[in-house]
Amino acid sequence: MHAKITIHVGPEQLFAWLAEPQNARFWFAHLRHEADVLPDPGLSADAGSRTVRWTTAPAGEMVVTGRGEVADLSLTFTEGGHVDEPPAEEMSPNDDPTNAGNALRSIKSHVEAADGGDPDMHTPGVVSREDVDEADREIAADPEHSGTPRRQGGG
């Protein structure tokens, strides 16, 4: 399973935030179906490849790419035989059974520090026209697994 989101901060800043073990509480719970007790995810970080891995089920990794003030974050489960399970609570139609999308939206909200914590709210910052065009092409090529689309209208 693979999921991806675009976050409007520099890739180095996003990787640094993900590499901090205390920040795992904001996203790791979304990947687990037993949310009452959150075990240590067993994080490791490789700054050279900007990859954060965790070994606690469901084991996986996140890779940060991008440039300037725009980062792409990809999440992939690495454990063999990972079986999607239904969540413990009701989902919206856009939620995956693993809730990887919720984990990525939580990361986006915390790192961008969106007003009110809403990951869909417009966040301040200047993004180059080139980065926006590149993100739009990527979203058009794979809309189901690509980053967050730009808001239409006044955003």
- Contact predicate 134/146, CB 8 Å: no
Query: Would you say residue 6 lies in a domain?
Result: yes
Residue 148 has pLDDT above 60, yes or no: no
Residue 68's pLDDT is 93
CATH number at residue 103: 3.30.530
Query: Would you say residue 152 lies in a domain?
Result: no
Nearest to 119, CA basis, from 143, 131, 101: 101
Which residues constitute the domain of residue 60? 2-141
At position 38, the amino acid (one-letter code) is: L
Query: Would you say residue 104 lies in a domain?
Result: yes
Query: Would you say residue 137 lies in a domain?
Result: yes
The pLDDT tens digits of the residues spanning 3-47 come to 899 999 999 999 999 999 999 988 998 887 666 677 889 999 999
Beta carbons within 8 Å of 40's beta carbon, 6+ residues apart: 56
Say what the pTM is.
0.64
Tell me the CB-side half-sphere exposure of residue 126, using CA atoms within 13 A.
Answer: 1
User: How many domains would you assign to the chain?
Assistant: 1
What's the rounded mean pLDDT across residues 38-63?
A: 93
Q: Strands, E, within the chain: which ranges?
A: 2-7, 43-46, 51-54, 60-67, 70-77
What's the rounded mean pLDDT across residues 44-53?
A: 97
The pLDDT tens digits of the residues spanning 61-106 come to 999 999 999 999 999 988 654 455 444 445 444 444 457 888 898 8
Query: Would you say residue 155 lies in a domain?
Result: no
Q: Give the separation between CA 64 and CA 74, rounded to whole angstroms.
A: 7
Query: Would you say residue 147 lies in a domain?
Result: no
